[in-house]
Amino acid sequence: MNLFGETALFEGGIKRYIDFKLPDTELRLWQRFFNKAEADLYYHTLLKETPWQQRIRKMYDKVIPDPRLTAYYGGANGHAWTPLLLEIKQAVEQITEINFDRVLLNLYRDGKDSVAWHSDNLPADGKHHHIASVTFGDTRIFKVRHKTRKDIQQLDIPLTHGSLLLMGETMQEHYEHHIPKTAREIGPRINLTFRISESLKPVYFEGR
């Protein structure tokens, strides 16, 4: 079921649904997918109850901590799903009509936390899938740029409290994204990226 349909809905002058109509991919945003009360509750609970860790990456002989905290749920190596994360996942699945099996949580503690330009890794089955991104807390700018086409303008998308952004299957192949640091005095932001680790395997029935 698609609650808002494909047309833009306006509320107090704010466009609630935007289809960016990007060349080579799909990028769609629901600005207030969760209402303020829901988003506040999810924000406070996730901030307090998530086993946040700072991941460390080895670059040659250097050890570099990620400039944000993370937690992984689902799949073989993730934490077990919590009822709250399942509730958010279900709401996302209902509107996108896509099933997800993992979620990566990022906590940007303040404006000094960030994520560098990247496209997300290829899942285990060697194919890119949709990624659904949910934001709670302070607004940060999600930057998007095409990997090769300079004629396509870079996008700066403010991801607000309770928003849902859906990246299409070909987004990681053609585009990169980035959350820059900001000098603004801001509070924490939590981002959840719902992912698919493998395509659902077709079930074969043996004929007689």
Binding of ligand AKG by 191 (CB under 6 A): yes
The interface mask with ligand AKG, positions 142-181, x = CB under 6 A, is: x----------------x-----------------x-x--
> Interface with ligand AKG includes 193 (CB under 6 A)?
yes
Minimum distance between the CB of residue 179 and ligand AKG, rounded to whole angstroms? Answer: 5
Contacts of 37 (CB under 8 A, 6+ apart): none
Site string for ligand AKG, 110-149 (x = CB under 6 A): -----x----x------------x--------x-------
Cβ–Cβ < 8 Å for 81, 151: no
37-45 long-range contacts (CB < 8 A, ≥24 apart) are: 38/162, 39/136, 39/161, 39/162, 40/161, 42/84, 42/88, 42/136, 43/136, 43/137, 43/161, 43/190, 45/84
Using the minimum distance from each CB to Fe ion, give the nearer residue, 39 or 131: 131
User: Which sign does the torsion angle of CA 188, 167, 92, 70 carry?
Assistant: negative
CB of 106 to ligand AKG, least distance (A): 5
Residue 120 in the binding site for Fe ion (CB under 5 A): yes
Residue 74 bridge partners (DSSP):
102
Nearest in space to 194 (alpha carbons), one of 67, 73, 38, 29: 73
Q: Say how many residues touch Fe ion, by CB under 5 A.
A: 1
Residues that bind ligand AKG (CB under 6 A): 104, 106, 115, 120, 133, 142, 159, 177, 179, 191, 193
